[in-house]
Structure 1
Amino acid sequence: AGHTTVKIQRSHFIDRGFPRHFIMIEEMTAEIIAAEKNAYGKVIRMMAHEVNNTIGPVNSIIQSAMATNALWQLPDTDSLHDALQVAIERNYNLNIFMRNFADLVKLPEPKTNKVDLCKILQNVVTLMELPAKDKHILLNFYKPETQFYITADEQLLEQALVNIVKNAIEAIGENGDVNVILDNKKRTLTIQDNGKGITGKENELLFTPFFSTKKDGQGIGLTLVREILVKHGFEFSLRTEEGLTRFLIKLQ
């Protein structure tokens, strides 16, 4: 005789003010086991995706530091010091994100505060500059002269922005420009690249979970970006026009 796998759960419901306890026994068929494994696999892939988004840029910063002879004896070490500080902060923020994600097995609700978007974007640009430079891609940040305050969850928003900038760099491949444009008057953020662009068919599926235009893509990054921006109440769009792909976020 074959073996049967079952899952036993104890729960209760309220009946006329009194708790009624019961035990549910569910036979775990091969189909149910496969579905659960698939669900866990999706969660694990999403977590791995976000870890990899940080490991790559941080490794580039560390490798650049190690390749610099007499590192701290050079006359100008401010830029390298800033890059290392960003790497430390990014690892700290990733740790918070992953802990919250693991605790809830879903994207945590935003814990919003008044934050300076210029500072968040500067950290993202500093983090991604070296990976972009390795591919001969110029990463430009056009920011207003004054501080740009919004109400947001700093860790979640930074996670989304890292994904958007990384996607823009990957869309170019080699030799190009990524422009991060923060407009104080219009209250918008635009991340623009001159990469291969998005076709009409791809545009319809862009924010579909696990759909990717990249050969080895997981289709996780844009899904995460969408969830974070929706939870913040920010309107956004992604489209290619006249050879430029723009991710526009309205920060009203």
Structure 2
Amino acid sequence: MAPYIIALLTALLVVLFVLEWRHQRRLSTRVHLMREALRNRDFMFRLPTDSIMPGERELQKMLNEMGGEINQLMARSEVESWQRLTRVLTHEIMNAVTPIQSITQAYIGSKMVKGTPLEEGIQAIYDTSRSLSAFVESYRKMTQLQTVNLEEIDLQRLVTNLQTLYPNLTWHVDLVNVQTLRADASMMHQVLTNIVKNAAEAGAQNIDISARRTDQCTQLRISNDGTPIAAEVAREVFVPFFTTKRTGSGIGLSLSRQMMMAQGGNLALAERAQAGYHTTFVVTL
């Protein structure tokens, strides 16, 4: 009997040792993956919390939340820096352009210039300064966001409006788990419209919109199968005035992120697109 008990206890100890070894290895792997993600500035990185032990689950939830908070802080700091720089640039540009515009306008109507070879050159200077002034002024107005009006909005209705604007796209919508969203309806419409507009211009045929709600936030994921965003471009998509389009102004996505932050949320480009798509933007509230 004694040898049987000893063998049983030995087997039990071996099993416990193997389980503990697997537990520690799995935990070490998760911490390593999160550390690498943070080192690579992939603050959208998440690991699943199912099929793991309760202690691991709580740790993984904490690591996931920490990554999300770092992502929001980094994005907010970046936006604030660009806002300060843009304010300085617009101020300096307007200070330089306004007197040029005023002086050339005065010369255009003068007898000294009218009908002479100088008239065409001065007119060109005036037109250029006027265009630059109008561009800077329009951007300044766009960045002065309206007062945020948070309310419960019907998410399905919001998406239906988008589908009406882009009927040629094929839509895949999953909003079963999130019916309403507390947000500014006007801002949300502008943000989503801008994302879908960019997708259409990138040659997308399919748009996928899904929503999920956690204890901390609500996430909308907007995916498309248009031309993928290159890695070097992905780092710059939220930088004001950055654009790869010939006719683009480069303010759409930066302004959209500002709108989301004004509502207490964020807009980010997912490091990995949803399966079957090339690009995924994540709206968080």
Q: TM-score range by the shorter chain?
A: 0.5 to 0.7
Equivalences for 1:61-80 in 2 at 5 Å? none
**Structure 1 residue 206 displacement after superposition:** 0.8
- TM-score, normalised to structure 1, is 0.54
Quickly say closer, same or farther: Cα 1:126–1:31, change in 2 above 3 A: closer
- Output one character per residue of 1:100-141: Cα deviation in whole Å (capped at 9) or x when no partner: x68xx822121222222232222222322x2xx1xxx41222
1:123 aligns with 2:161: yes
User: Does the CA-based 8 Å contact 1:237-1:248 persist in structure 2?
Assistant: yes
User: Does the CA-based 8 Å contact 2:257-2:266 persist in structure 1?
Assistant: no
Inter-partner Cα distance in structure 2 for 1:196 and 1:122:
24
| Counterpart pick for 2:269 among 238, 243, 246 | 238
Inter-partner Cα distance in structure 2 for 1:239 and 1:184:
17
Give the AA of the match of 1:38: L
- Output one character per residue of 1:132-155: Cα deviation in whole Å (capped at 9) or x when no partner: x1xxx41222211662232x2111
User: Does the CA-based 8 Å contact 2:178-2:211 persist in structure 1?
Assistant: no
Partner of 2:100: 30
Quickly say closer, same or farther: Cα 1:106–1:238, change in 2 above 3 A: same
Equivalences for 1:7-26 in 2 at 5 Å? none
Higher relative contact order (Cα pairs below 8 Å, separated by 6+ residues):
1
Inter-partner Cα distance in structure 1 for 2:208 and 2:235:
24
Partner of 1:93: none
1:148 aligns with 2:180: yes
Inter-partner Cα distance in structure 2 for 1:210 and 1:124:
25
Inter-partner Cα distance in structure 2 for 1:146 and 1:212:
33
Partner of 2:248: 217
Inter-partner Cα distance in structure 2 for 1:146 and 1:241:
23
> Partner of 1:111: helix, strand, or coil?
coil
**Which runs of 5 or more structure 2 residues have no equivalent in the other structure?**
1-94, 104-127
Inter-partner Cα distance in structure 2 for 1:221 and 1:228:
11
> Partner of 1:198: helix, strand, or coil?
coil
User: Does the CA-based 8 Å contact 1:125-1:141 persist in structure 2?
Assistant: no
**Which runs of 5 or more structure 1 residues have no equivalent in the other structure?**
1-25, 48-100
User: Does the CA-based 8 Å contact 1:148-1:184 persist in structure 2?
Assistant: no
Inter-partner Cα distance in structure 2 for 1:122 and 1:182:
15
Quickly say closer, same or farther: Cα 1:118–1:217, change in 2 above 3 A: same
User: Does the CA-based 8 Å contact 2:224-2:279 persist in structure 1?
Assistant: yes
User: Does the CA-based 8 Å contact 2:256-2:267 persist in structure 1?
Assistant: no
Partner of 2:45: none
Partner of 1:139: 171
Partner of 2:281: 247
**Structure 1 residue 233 displacement after superposition:** 1.4
1:183 aligns with 2:212: yes
- TM-score, normalised to structure 2, is 0.48
Give the AA of the match of 1:110: V
User: Does the CA-based 8 Å contact 2:177-2:212 persist in structure 1?
Assistant: no
User: Does the CA-based 8 Å contact 1:156-1:228 persist in structure 2?
Assistant: yes
1:113 aligns with 2:151: yes
Give the AA of the match of 2:179: Q
**Structure 1 residue 42 displacement after superposition:** 3.5
Aligned residues: 161
Inter-partner Cα distance in structure 2 for 1:247 and 1:229:
13
User: Does the CA-based 8 Å contact 1:178-1:191 persist in structure 2?
Assistant: yes
Of structures 1 and 2, the larger Rg is shown by 2
